[in-house]
Amino acid sequence: MPIFYYRAADSAGNVISGNVESRDERAVVQHLHEGGLIPLSISLKEPCEHTWRSFLSGRRRISRTELVHFTNELAVLLQAGLPLDRSLKILREITKRPELKATLDQVYRDVQAGKSLSEALARHRAFSPFYLSLVEAGEVGGFLEIALQRLGDYLKAVGEFRHHLLTSLIYPLVLAGVGGLSIILMLLWVVPRFEMFFLEMGQSLFWSTRFLLALSAAFRSFWWAGLLLIALAAFLLFRYFHTPQGRLALDRWRLKAPFWGDLTQGVAAAFFAKTLGTLLKSGVPLVTALEVVTTSVSNRYLARSLDTVVDDVKKGQSLSGRLRKSALFPELFLEMIAVGEETGRLADMLLNASDSLESDARTRVRRLLAVLEPALILTMALVVGFVIVSLLLPILNLYEIKL
């Protein structure tokens, strides 16, 4: 059946947006009336959320933090013995964010209409295939509250790990940006002030001073050409990396690049292990879990390699042996998977491997920053020192001549 997108008003005058699967528009209107809503607009085409009105009204996507809070709070309410529909109603009433409130309102109505929680969540983009698979496994196995608790822990751990990796790179990026800006300002304003002085001196200049003056003159005269070339290169790279071949090449480089490739492989293996281990721990079959993990992997080159892994596991091959053939995972990680397969504790070993890989990735990041930060400072110091020495040499030489 088609999916209709609607905007409706409740009894308090609040405007609610959502979607509903129905056979025709008349059934959508009846569904909204039964829920106490007044339909404002109904269409088969999804409305664009990136408009000035939505921007000014503060509408945005549901954040990872909000998703973690919702998952944990729903798990707590279910563990307290409350029915699912009442738990959803409570969360809908205490939620202040309009976007999340509208989503919970739609989920609540779908659950009241007889849909399962996984079916109700599947109609919203905020919930990934991994999220839906874990919820469905909890519903089928009769341990939905436990599955939601594991899901909340997983989302929180992954979010903290990503936040750690991103925040660790802020200082080096700021340092590089400030250093580059300082060099540009020296070429634009400092060096030209010395140029007139050197011309009045009328003496021959050192090669470093001539090079610096020529670089400053070229930068001041043809800065527009440099910006044009940078913009053109950025545009071409942007277009290329948004093609299937370009995205695949970029993701392959991330996994194979010197120094950075080992870190990327470790992070990818940590996410793979945590996602697969969480699914298996919640009762999802291995093949189904692998298919979900494949769709959740952001690196396309790795996802492409995992496609063949899923097919081979279906044929009876071991997971550790098939992952070893891809040559994209650390050896210790593969050994832990092999031990888990032999002992029948694959889920536990995957979660243990994930913790080990996350710890190793944090250590690698600290080591990388320990080398990167001094290297950036030293590079900037050498460049600035070269500029200062090149400008002072002619002055010192003139002083020696006068003596």
Per-residue pLDDT tens for 315-350? 888 888 888 887 778 888 888 889 998 888 998 998
- For the domain 260-361, what is the CATH superfamily, name and number? Type II secretion system (T2SS), domain F (1.20.81.30)
* Distance separating alpha carbons of residues 363 and 374, to the nearest angstrom: 17
Lowest mean pLDDT among 19-23, 44-48, 133-137: 44-48
Judged against a pLDDT cut of 60, whether residue 47 lies above it is answered with no
Judged against a pLDDT cut of 60, whether residue 54 lies above it is answered with no
Contacts of 92 (CB under 8 A, 6+ apart): 101, 104, 105, 108
The CATH class of 64-141 is mainly alpha
Task: Report DSSP state, residue 186.
Answer: I
Task: Report DSSP state, residue 288.
Answer: H
* Distance separating alpha carbons of residues 43 and 24, to the nearest angstrom: 10
Judged against a pLDDT cut of 90, whether residue 235 lies above it is answered with yes
pLDDT at residue 58, rounded to an integer = 42
Residue ranges of the chain that CATH labels 1.20.81.30? 64-141, 260-361
